[in-house]
Amino acid sequence: MGCCSLLVIQQVLAVDPHDRNDLDYGSYVDQPDVDKLKCGGYQDLIDILPYREMLAAQESAESGERRWAFGSPRRVAAEGLATLLRPDQKLIPRMKVIRKSQGKVIYEWHPPGETRYMIVVSRPYWLSFYSHSQGKVAWVLAAAYELCRN
């Protein structure tokens, strides 16, 4: 009577890859290794799940206000630190990369005689669903930690 039909998939011949090598597909944000710190712990400097801030950073990059965030993870980390801590701007370039993986860079910053900091910047996979710029995902501040004093 034309009311219902049955569709059956008999065989899947191929599946096109859809993973991108520029995105972070991780399900969690890296945290400092407490055993290596040898001082007891660390403190989060931003929300544990800063989704709103990440989405706002993506929108800001797409609007042209922060277009540089598409290609400069170091600057994203430095500006994040500057916003959080208001340090001497001349010292921030001393950040060093301590780990790098697909779509993620982790920096450490240790101003002379002060507390150390760990900064995680990422291109999270989930932001690709909100991208209006042909799938471009900006580098965003994913986590920032104050580590113990040395």
Structural domain contains residue 134: yes
Alpha carbon 11 to chain centroid, angstroms:
39
pLDDT tens digits along 40-79: 678 888 888 889 999 999 999 999 999 999 999 999 999 9
Residue 149 has pLDDT above 60, yes or no: no
Structural domain contains residue 8: no
Domain hosting residue 132, numbered range: 34-147
pLDDT tens digits along 93-121: 778 999 999 999 999 988 877 788 899 99
Helix intervals (H) in 24-139: 34-37, 51-63, 73-85
The encoded tokens of residue 54 equal: 């990440």
Structural domain contains residue 68: yes
Structural domain contains residue 60: yes
Structural domain contains residue 27: no
Structural domain contains residue 17: no
Specify the amino acid at residue 27: S
pLDDT of residue 133: 73
Q: Residue range 78-96: average pLDDT? A: 79
pLDDT of residue 101: 93
Planar angle of CA 31, 36, 40, nearest 5 degrees: 80
Structural domain contains residue 113: yes
Structural domain contains residue 24: no
Residue 122 contacts residue 29 (beta carbons within 8 Å):
yes
137 against 3, higher pLDDT = 137
The encoded tokens of residue 9 equal: 């998939």
Q: Residue range 134-144: average pLDDT? A: 91
Farthest-apart Cα atoms in the chain, separation:
82
Specify the amino acid at residue 136: K
Helix intervals (H) in 13-114: 34-37, 51-63, 73-85
Handedness of CA 83, 123, 54, 121 (dihedral sign): negative
13 against 126, higher pLDDT = 126
Give, as one character, the DSSP assignment of residue 130: T
Helix, strand, coil fractions of the chain, as percent rounded to 5: 30, 20, 50
Instruction: Count structural domains, the chain.
Output: 1
